[in-house]
Amino acid sequence: MIHMLRSEFLPYSSPLIAEDEINEVTDTLRSSWLSRGPKTAEFERQFADYVGASHAIAMNSCTAALHVALIARGIGPGDEVITSPLTFAATANTIIHCGAKPVFVDVDAETGNIDPSGIEEKITNKTKAIVPVHYAGQACDMDRIIGIARKYGLFVSEDAAHAIYTTYKGRMIGGIGDATSFSFYATKNLCTGEGGMLTTNDDSIAEKARVISLHGMSKNAWNRYDKNGSWYYEILYPGFKYNMTDIQASLGIQQLKKLEHMQKAREAYAKRYNEAFAGVPGIITPKEIPGNRHSWHLYVIQLDGNQIRIGRDRLIEELTKRNIGTSVHFIPVHLHPYYQERYGYKKGAYPVAEHMYERMVSLPLYPKMRPEDIDRVVDAVTGIVRENR
């Protein structure tokens, strides 16, 4: 028993859900409005304000938001969309859902973000959009990306699944590109269980996105069961069932209130990791670009194979033995069987992303952790690395 307590499993991730969230959800359940309704509208307004965008459209996932953004811009069969290979597959899958082809550009070795210097050579007359991913919660080089996009008339749809709270040159992510998609999945910095948000400053994209994300129904169809609503609607597009519910929005409203507080914990813990690993040969800590604010969605270390004898897989095994959960972000998308078979992508095609992937481990980092949990991870990682010099 005592041994069990000492080495209690530390999960890779765990959401911070407290009485505020529970009460807000209960209030919604008692109100009887369970689908998209007043709380979703309230969450959208608050979120738009928070990121400084003129529109926010709540959806049931970031995947849905990424898909809707491209459809709203009219991207379809025959088109090509440029993105990063170092991302969750949904970023590229949604390009395929539109009928378009994902074209990858390798990442920068220091940040894991798409390397702008590789974008122009991949642009063809079929290219319609760029989907940059703010890897781990650090902003991409948006000035260069938007500069290229304007030059070639491309749409910029940001994957900000990691990047709530992230700033780029003092501006919040969410109001910079043409459209930005956020995730509220259970592991993300703000969590509604499942959920996502599309933000934009473009009135036409916003209007289309609203329609596309709710069956393609004409405006305001969501309140058709309300006293002020109308039974009548028109289908303007064969849309999707991608709307958020008021149950999810209840979580979102309360999570947004404590976001700054939760982010302070992430910042403090990232700093604690950085300082503890600074002098340890064999561990490469995440590189921060000065002037931008990192959301610390992920804390990814890299192993330096010249300094230590164990690889990523062994480190994960050893940490698991010590009851510490870890993860890997990400298996580069072009290495997945579907992408290899359908598009002929081969191992070696994106060497920087592959090199990072082979050496990377994501360590637990979330507000619910206690400082001593961070220290436990530090001791375990440094111990394993030292034993394997």
Contacts of 152 (CB under 8 A, 6+ apart): 123, 127
If one asks whether residue 240 binds ligand PLP (CB under 6 A), the answer comes out as no
For residue 294, count CB atoms less than 10 angstroms from its CB and return exposed for 0-12, middle for 13-18, buried for 19 or more: buried
Composition of the chain by helix, strand, coil, percent to 5? 40, 15, 45
Task: CB nearer to ligand PLP: give 158 or 318.
Answer: 158
Q: List the helix and strand counts (H, then E) for the chain.
A: 13, 12
Place of tokens 């940001």: 158
> Interface with ligand PLP by CB under 6 A: which range of 56-64, 114-122, 206-214, 303-311?
56-64
**3-state DSSP assignment of residue 158:** strand
Q: Rg (Cα) of the chain, in Å, rounded?
A: 22
Task: CB nearer to ligand PLP: give 10 or 160.
Answer: 160
If one asks whether residue 385 binds ligand PLP (CB under 6 A), the answer comes out as no
Contacts of 183 (CB under 8 A, 6+ apart): 61, 62, 160, 161, 162, 195, 196
Binding mask 107-126 for ligand PLP (x = CB under 6 A): --------------------
> Interface with ligand PLP by CB under 6 A: which range of 58-66, 283-291, 354-362, 376-384?
58-66
Minimum CB distance to ligand PLP, residue 328 (Å)? 12
The residue within the footprint of ligand PLP, chosen from 57, 90, 251, 353 (CB under 6 A), is 90
Minimum CB distance to ligand PLP, residue 371 (Å)? 26
If one asks whether residue 62 binds ligand PLP (CB under 6 A), the answer comes out as yes
Q: Residues 126 to 155: which contact ligand PLP by CB under 6 A?
A: 133
Instruction: Say whether 188 is catalytic.
Output: yes
Q: Are 181 and 197 within 8 A, CB to CB?
A: yes
If one asks whether residue 352 binds ligand PLP (CB under 6 A), the answer comes out as no
- Among residues 39, 128, 188, 208, which one is catalytic? 188
Q: Residues 150 to 209: which contact ligand PLP by CB under 6 A?
A: 159, 161-162, 183, 185, 196
The residue within the footprint of ligand PLP, chosen from 88, 242, 269, 277 (CB under 6 A), is 88
Minimum CB distance to ligand PLP, residue 212 (Å)? 16
Of 162, 148, 196, 179, the closest CA to residue 75 belongs to: 179
If one asks whether residue 242 binds ligand PLP (CB under 6 A), the answer comes out as no
The whole-angstrom separation of Cα 174 and Cα 51 is 5
Minimum CB distance to ligand PLP, residue 189 (Å)? 11
Minimum CB distance to ligand PLP, residue 176 (Å)? 17
**3-state DSSP assignment of residue 81:** strand
Place of tokens 């060497």: 351
Place of tokens 């982010």: 263
Query: What torsion, rounded to 10 degrees, do the Cα atoms 135, 110, 107, 14 define?
Result: -20
If one asks whether residue 308 binds ligand PLP (CB under 6 A), the answer comes out as no
- Residues with a known catalytic role: 188
> Using CB under 6 A as the criterion, which residues of the chain lie in contact with ligand PLP when the complex forms?
61-63, 87-88, 90-91, 133, 159, 161-162, 183, 185, 196
